[in-house]
Homo-oligomer: A and B are copies of this chain.
Amino acid sequence: MGVEVSIGRGKVARVAYGFDDVALVPAAQMVDPDDVDVKLQIGELVLEIPILASAMDAVVDVRLAVLMSRLGGLAVLNLEGLQTRYEAPEEAIERIVRAPAEEVVGVLQEVYREPIKEELVYKRVKEVKELGGRLGVASTPANAERLLLIAMEAGADVAVIQSTVTTVRYVSSRREPLNWKSIREAIRAPLLVGNCVTYEAAVELMEAGADGILVGVGPGAACTTRQVIGVGVPQITAIADVASAREDFLKRSNRYVVVIADGGMRTGGDIAKAIAAGADGVMIGSPIACAEEAPGKGYHWGMAAPHPGLPRGTRVKVPYRAPLETILFGPARREDGTQNLVGALKLSMATCGARNIKEMQNVQMVVAPAIQSEGKLLQMRGSK
């Protein structure tokens, strides 16, 4: 259950690890990268690549979703974002993109004040389906019963119930919690639930019928949850814990629930580490916000950024723009690991001797802080 250290009298805490704290160890038997299989199966759905595009407004719209499914992945549309609030979301995005830095939090809050329209929920899903795309749709628990069922009716392929932290048990003196049993029965498609970072919460979500668990509280580049409320578990530890829940649940129930690492990954190396920690796939936002086809027009913002009372994220400019296909399959024109993510994952797996995702989940890691070597690198680059 991990190394516990005393952090004060009567207080213990586990030491937790993130992507930058670890590295993968090459195996004594390499595999040909061209033989590596990176398929991800969620329920009956099989994806050629284990990559989902995050339910964020700078990342996924109709066009991006169609392209993403053509390339073998799955995009998830945020049913509570701009696409379902505005008939013409481009204008709202334009306002966000053009806001001066010091006003952007206020502009975000204002733009997201527009109510969600149920007819737009239906319409967006239909648009993707008519263009031959596959689509995931995401709602918070509070709106899940209302919005997800409309989207399912319109043909959505995967349902996602997602919030900063999602648990089966929710105690309130004034609000009715989500009825997990009824929603599970109402949704015939695969259901992903999150986010979650602990073994116990993951087991309960699996028992409530989730087909997949999204892992990650506060790790994303456009998210400041950890700073604002102090909550978060670094991803390597969180993924390993939830993956351990998956294995235990599999033994008990004979049902395999996929673990999707969500947030905090920028490079192919980060994706490889997520899988080595136990994930079956990843959900990424920032790397895809760099796609020329992404709706964010060169910017990215977290979905907690427009929160009316407690914004936890901001607008950031993406470091470059390139076609989505280049980002996923190369050929890379950048050497920093942000392009050809699938090629990098395959080479990483090959080097670690893993022929498929399942084998990759068991490769060796070392604890090896990245700061110093990167510091050296940056130092030399400074003189470029």
Taking Cβ atoms with an 8 Å cutoff, the residues of A that contact B are 1-3, 5-11, 13-18, 20-32, 34-35, 101, 105-106, 109, 164-165, 167-175, 196-201, 204, 217, 219, 221-222, 224, 226-234, 236-241, 243-245, 247, 264, 266-273, 276-278, 286, 300, 305, 308-319, 330-337, 340, 343-345, 347-348, 351-352, 355, 364-368, 370-377, 380-381, 383-384
* 22 interchain pairs, CB-CB under 8 A: A7-B237, A8-B240, A10-B240, A13-B364, A14-B366, A14-B367, A15-B367, A16-B368, A32-B173, A221-B380, A224-B337, A224-B377, A228-B267, A229-B345, A229-B348, A230-B276, A264-B376, A310-B340, A310-B343, A311-B332, A315-B384, A371-B371
What chain B residues lie within 8 Å of A22 (beta carbons)?
A: 7, 13
Contact status A314-B7, CB under 8 Å:
no
Contact status B8-A5, CB under 8 Å:
no
Residue of B nearest to A237 (CB): B8
What chain B residues lie within 8 Å of A14 (beta carbons)?
A: 366-367
Residue of B nearest to A315 (CB): B384
Contact status B367-A219, CB under 8 Å:
no
What chain B residues lie within 8 Å of A7 (beta carbons)?
A: 2, 17, 21-22, 236-237, 240, 277, 365, 367
What chain B residues lie within 8 Å of A365 (beta carbons)?
A: 7, 11, 13
Contact of A373 (CB < 8 Å), options: B18, B173, B231: B18
CB distance from A288 to the nearest CB of B (A): 14
Provide the bound-state CA to CA distance between A165 and B227, in Å: 29
Provide the bound-state CA to CA distance between A217 and B165, in Å: 35
Residue of B nearest to A308 (CB): B331
Contact status A29-B174, CB under 8 Å:
no
CB distance from A39 to the nearest CB of B (A): 16
What chain B residues lie within 8 Å of A247 (beta carbons)?
A: 10
Residue of B nearest to A226 (CB): B23
Provide the bound-state CA to CA distance between A351 and B337, in Å: 34
What chain B residues lie within 8 Å of A278 (beta carbons)?
A: 8, 11
Contact of A272 (CB < 8 Å), options: B13, B229, B317, B344: B229
Contact status B367-A13, CB under 8 Å:
yes
Residue of B nearest to A231 (CB): B24
Contact status A2-B13, CB under 8 Å:
no
What chain B residues lie within 8 Å of A172 (beta carbons)?
A: 31-32, 34-35
Contact status B35-A174, CB under 8 Å:
yes
Provide the bound-state CA to CA distance between A169 and B109, in Å: 55
Residue of B nearest to A311 (CB): B335
